[in-house]
Amino acid sequence: MEHSNDGNLAQVQHVVLVLSGKGGVGKSTITTELALALRNAGKKVGILDVDLCGPSIPRMLSVGRPDVHQCDSGWVPVYTDAKKSLALMSIGFLMEDPDEAVVWRGPKKTALIGQFVSDVAWGELDVLLVDTPPGTSDEHLAVLENLKKHRVDGAVLVTTPQAVSTGDVRREITFCKKTGVRILGIIENMSGFVCPHCSECSNIFSKGGGEELAKLTGSEFLGSVPLDPLLSASIEEGKDFVQSFPNSATFSALTSISQTLLSSLQAA
């Protein structure tokens, strides 16, 4: 379905926000792995990295700091493969010094986010994932205000199992309800530790917080992703975990989550 009045988002089928109530829950990791799992399922995927203070996805996808080019319709996203099946635009590409801190006031951030949403020439995409900063700040409102001019299908919320994290995600759920964003589901990250030797899963933190939160709030529980040393190494080295470890339990979890998310989007 093409949306004729949506400018650069006209050929983007679905737009999904990835939110977390707090930092450190692995939101960017989940965004990256969801994108790779969706690509593995034959979908054309884009990632818009709006995490201005910690744009880590370029490293996770091993694209470095390429020059960003412009065409008649705006910025050309950076493609991670020759088939152009995974497109990325990140604030990290626009910073002269990768160690530079983004010390900007709200209006400047808001203006840049507006540009990001409107001025990237995405072309045809099945799903655009928007990696947002943690919390419910100005940046989130700017993303929503600019996306709502086009449309946003909903949000995926990332939490860890502990009560501290699920408490913060409750506030994120309230934010979604207040701003009229559909909650597509909750993902529990770092749900147990997979031993690299015997593949047994031990619950280091606790377990089930994300699923319990989904029940309490009437949201869909998309699934759990364990702490997996192979996944951590893939992220650090910028390798495609989904293609490298197709027999792992973590691969199965990510594939199942991406399929549930696709079904939810197509049912909307």
| pLDDT tens profile 27-49 | 899 999 999 999 999 999 999 98
Q: For the whole model, what pTM was predicted? A: 0.88
**Cβ burial 89-101 (10 Å sphere, 16+ → b, else e):** bbbbbeeeeeeee
Q: Is 83 a known ligand-binding residue?
A: no
CA dist 188 and 224 (Å) reads 5
* Contact predicate 60/232, CB 8 Å: no
- Amino acid letter, residue 205: F
Please report the pLDDT score of residue 66 as a whole number. Answer: 76
DSSP state of 61: T
Query: In the structure, what pLDDT confidence band is assigned to residue 101 with cuts at 50, 70 and 90?
Result: low
Q: Is 234 annotated as a binding residue?
A: no
Q: Is 195 annotated as a binding residue?
A: yes
Binned at pLDDT 50, 70 and 90, residue 184 comes out as very high
> In this structure, are residues 150 and 8 in contact, taking their beta carbons and an 8 Å threshold?
no
**Per-residue pLDDT tens over the stretch 212-249:** 888 888 889 999 888 888 888 888 888 888 888 888 88
> What's the mean pLDDT in 107-119?
78
Q: What average pLDDT score do residues 164-190 get?
A: 82
Helix (H), strand (E) at residue 113:
helix 106-119
Q: What residue ranges define each of the domains in the chain, with the CATH number in brackets?
A: 7-267 (3.40.50.300)
Q: Does 167 count as an annotated binding residue?
A: no
pLDDT at 98: 62
More confident call, 180 vs 66:
180
Q: Is 43 annotated as a binding residue?
A: no
26 appears as a binding residue in the annotation: yes
Is 192 assigned a ligand-binding role in the annotation?
A: no
Name the more confident of 126 and 196. Answer: 126
27 is in an annotated binding site: yes
Mean pLDDT for all residues in the chain: 82
Phi and psi (nearest 5°) for 87?
-110, 145
* 21 is annotated as contributing to ligand binding: yes
Tokens standing for 207? Answer: 């377990």
Q: Compute the distance between CA of residue 45 and CA of residue 190 in angstroms, rounded to an integer.
A: 24
> Quick check: helix, strand or coil at residue 195?
coil
What integer pLDDT is reported at residue 268 of this predicted model?
64
The yes-or-no verdict on residue 23 having pLDDT over 80 is no
Residue given tokens 């045809």 in the structure block: 124
User: Does residue 22 have a known ligand-binding role?
Assistant: yes
